[in-house]
Amino acid sequence: MIAAWLAFLDGLLAIVLSLAGIVAAHFALTKPFTGFELLLLGFLIGVVGLVIGIVAMLVTFLSPSRYSGRKWAVIGSVLTLAVVLPILMIVATHRQYPAINDITTDTANPPEFVEAPQLPENHGRSMKYDNATYASIQQNAPVYRNLGPLKFDYKPDDTFKKAEIIAGEIPDWQITRNDSKTRTLEGVATSKWFHFKDDFVIQVRPADGQSSLVEMRSKSRDGKGDLGANYNRIEMFFHALQGPPRGAAPVG
């Protein structure tokens, strides 16, 4: 039965393309976004294969003479589901994040990049915060409602020292700029599977009295949306910053 075989072949192709995209990006055989595009292609082929597989299974139930094709229709459908379901689950659990990829704790006065525009990978890319594009979307998205600067009762210099230690402990972060005069850190974060590179900047600013504010901005290099990666990076760092850094006494 042709439809059953098509479902099986689509399932195989979806698996191969998806795995190839992940492996190629992870081991730098292709650019991260190229690997991601291969995964998406595998997903689309998987959707088509799943539809064909369901149709083929229905045909085998309605037409006993075509029973022999049911096995391949079932196998093909299972293979396509192995690709389609995980991606659908990721999309469903991240649908609350709007399609923006530049997140900051202060949309009115965001930390600006100094070192990032000088990196070869960012040549030709604007690293200025696009207030007109991002600010209103971030402010109106419920998921970002509680995002804001982190306040400490420490002096700004003490807060910066703690931020410096914590940022240096994060395995997937590479610090590219450490400016104690402006109390600013810049760096590049690398994602686990596709090795996407996101630029981030952390700045400690004086607040009332002897207190300080930690501001942070995180910006993706690829894509229009980020599935919450930049927001979660800021939240993760702030959570770590509120506890003592490993191997160091709390600053107070």
Q: How far apart are CA 100 and CA 85, in angstroms?
A: 24
Q: What is the pLDDT of residue 243?
A: 81
| Domain spanning 102-241: CATH superfamily | Kinase associated domain 1, KA1 (3.30.310.80)
Domain boundaries, the chain: 2-93, 102-241
- Stated pTM of the model: 0.89
Question: What is the DSSP-derived secondary structure letter of residue 227?
Answer: T
- Give the per-residue pLDDT at 235: 97
Mean pLDDT in each 10-residue stretch from start to end of the chain (252 residues)?
91 98 96 97 98 93 77 95 97 96 97 97 95 96 96 96 96 97 98 96 94 98 95 97 58 36
| Distance in angstroms (rounded) separating the CA atoms of residues 46 and 25 | 20
Q: Give the integer Cα–Cα distance in Å for 69 and 230.
A: 47
The Cβ of residue 49 has, within 10 Å, a number of other Cβ atoms equal to 27
- In this prediction, residue 251 carries a pLDDT of 37
Q: What is the pLDDT of residue 244?
A: 61
Q: Look up residue 122 and give its DSSP letter.
A: G
